[in-house]
Structure 1
């Protein structure tokens, strides 16, 4: 028996994923600026017009890539927030965060996109929106962690500062993984665990 043809919505999702995968490869290989829509189309084995049917421009492609990444963060953060002690839940999943920060393909893409965002106002606004969402969720996780450990509450500004510091630590690991690819991420987890506990509980 022959397989039924994919439904239009499924086909659209598959096409979008195909384009996003191709764009990710091209952004890493050529850089955001040099990865033209024609290059992305060739990598995706599609026509340029077909890609424009799904995405208006490269910024909209980056938005879609960021949305997928954001959805992954949202799912994990929801688990932390729902836990009896969000801090312990977060520390239990620290190896996953370390894997993301030291994944060569993923971090190469992020560094390239960040570099382009320093010159591209539209792209900077897109990334700033997602950055703010992550920061707000981390702020909530930190506040609930402090409450779960029966510590004095912090001001909103203090909580945001702690969230910014935590994000800076993970972003710094991304950079270090490129500058020093020989570093041992498993050893870093122990040090990072100590730093995060000190950051949240003091």
Structure 2
């Protein structure tokens, strides 16, 4: 029997993650069965369970993959010379939020996971770890922005990082729940908050 390549395994795993993302975004976690995801992915039960054995594993994989995009963006912006203005940083992150917002988009799942985290320790641990990584990246970027003179010299990067995460989450909530917040207006508000007199 021929050996399955790593590329094939990775593509199949991604196929399952995308199918689960669509199902969870459309119907929510509790209304989506593993059979729904298997059917959406177009796989046999055996092929599916080779990659994931539970809904929690799927949710963790989706969250890690999609949040990884934001972390990668922050890491890349850390290396840009000169350091980009805060508005440009937020513009890029919020653009990615909008890109992943569609009816079947993973951003909608984020709000579901936040709700589950309020009463499920497994989800709370997942969220704590993921957003801890985003906060760490935001703190490092805030220190660099401060050192570049875009913030007051005594600005606390840890405090700024916490607010950055909150602003991103606030945008997600407004986009998912009301759909009426305009990215440019939101960015103008951030710019107004961060403007130095």
For normalisation by structure 1, the TM-score amounts to: 0.82
Pair 1:82-2:79 in alignment: yes
Residues 129-170 of structure 1 show CA distances to partners (whole Å, capped at 9, x for unaligned) of 11101101111111111112185345xxx4222211111112
How do 1:55-70 residues align onto structure 2 when only pairs under 5 Å count?
55-70=52-67
Alpha-carbon distance, 1:6 to partner: 10
Name the CA distance, whole Å, in 2 between partners of 1:149 and 1:48.
Answer: 56
Alpha-carbon distance, 1:107 to partner: 2.8
Which residue of the partner structure matches residue 98 of structure 1?
94
Unaligned runs of 5+ in 1: none
Alpha-carbon distance, 1:113 to partner: 1.9
How do 1:103-142 residues align onto structure 2 when only pairs under 5 Å count?
103-104=101-102, 105-142=105-142
Which residue of the partner structure matches residue 147 of structure 1?
147
Which residue of the partner structure matches residue 173 of structure 2?
175
Aligned pairs, number: 191
Moved more, 10-19 or 179-188: 179-188
Moved more, 128-137 or 7-16: 7-16
Alpha-carbon distance, 1:179 to partner: 3.5
In terms of fraction of residues, the more helix-rich structure is 1
Unaligned runs of 5+ in 2: none
